[in-house]
Copies of this chain bind each other. A is one copy, B any other.
């Protein structure tokens, strides 16, 4: 019953009109020839794949889930998942932004970003199978040996094999320093890996002939804690030097989790029983190597919620136009009907616009980040690469935590639009809420993201990167500060931008005296900075829209953009006022509570 239409027009607006992507890409030699037609065509085809192939499987995936045969340890994915994956491979989609040296198409990340937004809207659980593979590709591409790359990358790029990241164990999630899985060196240079991993997404399935597990484990002489962790490549089937599949390796699915959402993805308990693995990167340097994968994964998780926000919005909007119930407070609007469509009610509109503003703001931020990623990796100028990397580092926890919290707010608001029907699974709204719920948790909980942002990305470098973002804001304010039509968008951003420095300094000063203060302020701080970032992009989107309207463009798209910007600043942005107050309240009201929490 749910529906999905790829938001191509808005993606094109952000890519072409807001960020002038093809111009930006000209400075990166390997992407200099990417033109607007190529971008639009890839988006259109990707959208078609999402809407026609994986979206129809979303409800089925939720209803059926995955099943484990305890005798064979094999997992069966929901009906149709395997066939959809075969089509995905056949269409060459896994290769989109991969290195041509290993069979990739070498297109910019920004396209992968948009493809994945649509795939996530269509079916988050299904999308995690290729999504995890892409993460494994990136980690191996960055840290694998020549032999590992030669044997494994072409298969991950083609999608014939998939990948996983195996970090979590029953007693450790956030705190990987506690992990116990062991790796014993063998005479032939390989390792025998033994231990138990849990929560391994796409950890076992029937969609590909081999699965490439990237596993964190400890060498016998490893130091304790997080500095004694190494990364290993552990394939489900061993791979012969000629690339053909060999014996079944000692890594088995011991159970599947019963989860609140993403039922279509196999969240596996993996038993490693002397499994053969090879070292990836340096001994005891497993965490930094895995972080290549995790940073990409964090942006990917924000993108999951962006996708769910968009699809929940589309369905709630359609329902609000069709469902008739009560009359408008100012009198009947649909006089020919026994009641008005519920979209006439202000609060229904508020719920819809909340989702819309978070979807479009999130899309602008996410695309901005991937454009930076393209620069970070392939720009010829080291300084540009370095600055792009710093900005990505600052924005990554915001994409992860702000977009997933917004997804929680938005999908719940959209469910609410459906009234009682929102609670009934067939309508699909519950699934969007349930699927989104894990996004606030995995790849580092949103609290962990906020500590990363405030502690490492802001305070540890004395706000240097934050100041660079502040310059972007100041530049926009300077450009538009005298434009009366822009005042309603510029003023709040300018005001918060000014406050942000003082706010950050205050917290930094308190944290200098007591490091716990960071923990007391970080979550609210991230949300405030998230709004500053969204506010900046919303003001820039309003700027583009106003210029078009002023130039006589009558496309209603631009009026829609202005209205949504206006709503955003009037109804969502003001929560910063409360958040700054609570962030400033100090950590004592949390820590001096031993009796309350006895």
Per-position contact with B for A413-442: 1 when CB-CB < 8 Å, else 0? 001100110111110001001100110111
Indicate whether A261 reaches chain B with its CB closer than 8 angstroms.
yes
Indicate whether A346 reaches chain B with its CB closer than 8 angstroms.
yes
Contact B438 A423 (CB under 8 A): yes
19 contacts between A and B (CB under 8 A): A174-B325, A175-B325, A259-B423, A260-B424, A260-B433, A260-B434, A329-B519, A330-B515, A347-B520, A348-B447, A415-B437, A557-B595, A559-B595, A560-B593, A567-B589, A571-B582, A571-B589, A574-B581, A578-B578
Known: A173-B419, A175-B326, A347-B522. 14 other contacts (CB 8 A): A168-B420, A175-B324, A177-B339, A199-B420, A260-B434, A317-B597, A346-B587, A347-B523, A419-B445, A423-B441, A563-B592, A564-B593, A574-B585, A575-B582
Which residues on B sit within 8 Å (CB–CB) of A343?
597
Indicate whether A1 reaches chain B with its CB closer than 8 angstroms.
no
If A423-B438, A519-B329 touch, whether A563 touches B593 (CB-CB below 8 Å) is yes
The answer for the CA separation of A567 and B352 in the assembled complex, in Å, is 33
Which residues on B sit within 8 Å (CB–CB) of A514?
330
Chain B min CB distance to A354 (Å)? 10
Which residues on B sit within 8 Å (CB–CB) of A347?
447, 450, 519-520, 522-523, 590
Indicate whether A408 reaches chain B with its CB closer than 8 angstroms.
yes
In the assembly, how many copies of this chain are there?
Answer: 2
The answer for the CA separation of A497 and B14 in the assembled complex, in Å, is 45
If A173-B420, A424-B257 touch, whether A516 touches B346 (CB-CB below 8 Å) is yes
Which residues on B sit within 8 Å (CB–CB) of A425?
258-260
- Greatest chain B CB density within 10 A among A261, A326, A349, A587 is at A349
Contact A442 B420 (CB under 8 A): yes
Chain B min CB distance to A359 (Å)? 12
Per-position contact with B for A352-363: 1 when CB-CB < 8 Å, else 0? 110010000000
The answer for the CA separation of A420 and B329 in the assembled complex, in Å, is 44
Give residues 286-328 of A contacting B (CB, 8 Å). 317, 320, 324-326, 328
Indicate whether A596 reaches chain B with its CB closer than 8 angstroms.
yes
The answer for the CA separation of A512 and B25 in the assembled complex, in Å, is 55
Contact A441 B424 (CB under 8 A): no
If A329-B518, A345-B519, A346-B520 touch, whether A597 touches B441 (CB-CB below 8 Å) is no
Indicate whether A187 reaches chain B with its CB closer than 8 angstroms.
no
Chain B min CB distance to A428 (Å)? 11
The answer for the CA separation of A515 and B329 in the assembled complex, in Å, is 6
Indicate whether A172 reaches chain B with its CB closer than 8 angstroms.
yes
Indicate whether A556 reaches chain B with its CB closer than 8 angstroms.
yes
Per-position contact with B for A556-591: 1 when CB-CB < 8 Å, else 0? 110111011011001100111111011001110111
Indicate whether A396 reaches chain B with its CB closer than 8 angstroms.
no
Indicate whether A598 reaches chain B with its CB closer than 8 angstroms.
yes
Chain B min CB distance to A338 (Å)? 6
Contact B172 A325 (CB under 8 A): yes
Q: Which single residue of chain B is at the shortest CB-CB distance from A225?
A: B338
Indicate whether A151 reaches chain B with its CB closer than 8 angstroms.
no
Indicate whether A412 reaches chain B with its CB closer than 8 angstroms.
yes
Which residues on B sit within 8 Å (CB–CB) of A352?
597
Chain B min CB distance to A556 (Å)? 4
The answer for the CA separation of A415 and B408 in the assembled complex, in Å, is 13
Indicate whether A285 reaches chain B with its CB closer than 8 angstroms.
no
If A433-B437, A577-B577, A597-B317 touch, whether A523 touches B420 (CB-CB below 8 Å) is no
Chain B min CB distance to A372 (Å)? 28
Which residues on B sit within 8 Å (CB–CB) of A516?
328-330, 346
Interface residue from B353, B450, B515 paired with A596 (Cβ < 8 Å): B353
The answer for the CA separation of A300 and B172 in the assembled complex, in Å, is 40
Give residues 388-427 of A contacting B (CB, 8 Å). 408, 412, 415-416, 419-420, 422-426
The answer for the CA separation of A352 and B447 in the assembled complex, in Å, is 14
Contact A591 B349 (CB under 8 A): yes
Give residues 535-574 of A contacting B (CB, 8 Å). 556-557, 559-561, 563-564, 566-567, 570-571, 574
Indicate whether A149 reaches chain B with its CB closer than 8 angstroms.
no
Give residues 28-82 of A contacting B (CB, 8 Å). none
The 4 closest A-B pairs by CB, nearest first: A346-B519, A260-B430, A578-B578, A560-B595
If A175-B326, A339-B175 touch, whether A590 touches B353 (CB-CB below 8 Å) is yes
Indicate whether A178 reaches chain B with its CB closer than 8 angstroms.
yes
If A350-B523, A516-B346 touch, whether A423 touches B261 (CB-CB below 8 Å) is yes
The answer for the CA separation of A175 and B420 in the assembled complex, in Å, is 13
The answer for the CA separation of A581 and B324 in the assembled complex, in Å, is 31
Contact B560 A596 (CB under 8 A): yes
Which residues on B sit within 8 Å (CB–CB) of A567?
589-590, 593, 596
Q: Which single residue of chain B is at the shortest CB-CB distance from A574?
A: B581
Interface residue from B199, B259, B518, B570 paired with A589 (Cβ < 8 Å): B570
Contact A570 B582 (CB under 8 A): yes
Which residues on B sit within 8 Å (CB–CB) of A178?
325, 338-339
The answer for the CA separation of A436 and B591 in the assembled complex, in Å, is 29
- Greatest chain B CB density within 10 A among A515, A516, A586 is at A516
Give residues 153-188 of A contacting B (CB, 8 Å). 168, 172-175, 177-178
Interface residue from B174, B326, B447, B556 paired with A174 (Cβ < 8 Å): B326
Interface residue from B329, B416, B445, B563 paired with A445 (Cβ < 8 Å): B416
Chain B min CB distance to A395 (Å)? 21
Which residues on B sit within 8 Å (CB–CB) of A575?
575, 578, 582
The answer for the CA separation of A563 and B593 in the assembled complex, in Å, is 6
